[in-house]
Amino acid sequence: MAKHRRDATSAGHRRRIKAHLKSSKAGLAPGSLQYVGATDPLPTLATLIEFGQDDGDFLETKFTALEQGRDFKPTYSNYWLNLHGLEDLAQLKLIGKRFHLHPLVLEDILNTQQRPKVETYPGYLFITARLMFLDEFGSVDSEQISLVVGRNFLLTFQEKPTGTFAGIRESLRNGESQLRKFGTDYLVYALLDKIVDRYFAVLEQIGERVDELEDEIIEQLNPDQMQEVQHLRRSLQALKRGLWPLREVINVLQRDDADFFKDETQLYLRDAYDHTVQLIESVEALREAVSGLQDIYLALQSQTMNTQMRTLTVFTIIFSPLTLIAGIYGMNFEFMPELHWRWGYFAVLALMGVLGCGLGWFFWSRRWIDAV
């Protein structure tokens, strides 16, 4: 399993490098629309949710073609337009034109390697965040979530459908939910809070793996364990790269200098900010735990090597005098009295046996052979 994780991690690095190479925008004008990502873009599916405060003020519409949304007029005051997949550039341009999005915003939406950030534009905020998850090999992966926040609308752009926001959509269908009563600014908080919760889920799984790996290392050393320690370290580093800028994003939103969030929603954003701080502390604690795993592995490896060296030393010391005796009587000089003695051979063997057993008992009494 560890080998699969290493292979998957290496494959992930190659995909990112390949994405940077094939998506180079050198020579293109700023604001040029070109998809940048580790994988090919998925087909675009647009979903519009309109809602109001009353129980019946809810309408959900799916757009599969550009013509469906060209002349569409919303029924209710608040609406959330979500796009899965970034393949359809024409539809993205139409949305940009309809909501007066800056070309640089559209460019950043298509560049899925963005660092989490928040930018203020006339009439709206542009936010990017990274949604973290573990792939089938246990490696940390992520996708970019882009949000455009207006006074009464929210646009979200996802690389692929993950089902992360399914619970939020279900809450919007409920006329008694806070999402319906507080409006789009609270909806932005709910989405960001869900993204933060995914960090908790990923971190919990990594923490469980750290505990399991510690037990495995203590039970029996394996060369693959050190590789997995490095894999865990890279995973925590990826979480840290997503969390630190996300914390700053939420901090900017809770101050809300552009006045897009109500006072009540800012209190919830403060809670989300506290969660990011807690996550960062947990990541640092796990990084120390992973470093501790490396120290444990190296200490046990050193202990095992010392045990092996002690074993070799004991046997070397035991056999050194025996080798000396055999060497002396192997010189075959003519005038060696013991060579002509009838019992000389057996006497030397007996001497070597007594000497070997005596040294063995000596080292055993000194507890040098307990670890052999």
Residue type for position 176: E
Q: 261 phi and psi, to 5 degrees?
A: -120, 135
Ordered DSSP codes for 321-357: HHHHHHHHTTS--S--GGGG-TTHHHHHHHHHHHHHH
What is the per-residue pLDDT across 64-95, written as a single tens digit (0 to 9) for each?
666 666 667 777 888 899 998 888 888 888 88
CATH number (domain holding residue 289): 3.30.460.20
Do residues 162 and 133 touch, judged by C-beta distance below 8 A?
A: yes
pLDDT of residue 76: 80
What is the per-residue pLDDT across 294-319, written as a single tens digit (0 to 9) for each?
888 888 777 777 777 777 777 787 78
Q: Same domain for 292 and 312? A: no
- Whether residue 5 is contained in a domain is answered as no
In the listed set 299, 318, 350, which residue is the last one of a domain according to the structure?
299
In the listed set 246, 281, 299, which residue is the last one of a domain according to the structure?
299
- Whether residue 54 is contained in a domain is answered as yes
What is the per-residue pLDDT across 149-197, written as a single tens digit (0 to 9) for each?
998 899 999 988 888 888 888 888 887 788 888 888 999 999 999 999 9
Q: Same domain for 38 and 121? A: yes
- Whether residue 92 is contained in a domain is answered as yes
Burial class (CB in 10 A: 0-12, 13-18, 19+), 68: middle
Given a cut of 50, whether residue 268 has pLDDT beyond it is: yes
Given a cut of 70, whether residue 13 has pLDDT beyond it is: no
Ordered DSSP codes for 101-155: --HHHHHHHHBTTPPPEEEEETTEEEEEEEEEEE-TTS-EEEEEEEEEE-SSEEE
Give the pair of three-digit tokens for residue 211.
């505990």
Q: 142 phi and psi, to 5 degrees?
A: -155, 160
**Residue 105 and residue 111: Cα distance in Å, rounded?**
10
Strand order in the sheet with 45-51: 58-63, 45-51, 78-84, 153-158, 140-149, 124-134, 117-121
Q: Same domain for 339 and 286? A: no
Q: Same domain for 285 and 336? A: no
Q: Same domain for 151 and 204? A: yes
**Residue 41 and residue 241: Cα distance in Å, rounded?**
24
What is the per-residue pLDDT across 236-249, written as a single tens digit (0 to 9) for each?
998 999 899 999 99
Q: Same domain for 294 and 341? A: no
Q: Same domain for 148 and 177? A: yes
The neighbour count for residue 209, using CB atoms within 10 Å, is: 19
Its domain, for residue 267, covers: 12-299
- E strands in the chain: 45-51, 58-63, 78-84, 117-121, 124-134, 140-149, 153-158
Given a cut of 90, whether residue 117 has pLDDT beyond it is: yes
Q: Is residue 85 left, alpha or beta, with left meaning phi > 0 and alpha meaning psi from -120 to 50?
A: left
Do residues 359 and 318 touch, judged by C-beta distance below 8 A?
A: yes
- Whether residue 171 is contained in a domain is answered as yes
Do residues 187 and 80 touch, judged by C-beta distance below 8 A?
A: yes
- Whether residue 371 is contained in a domain is answered as no
Domain count, the chain: 2
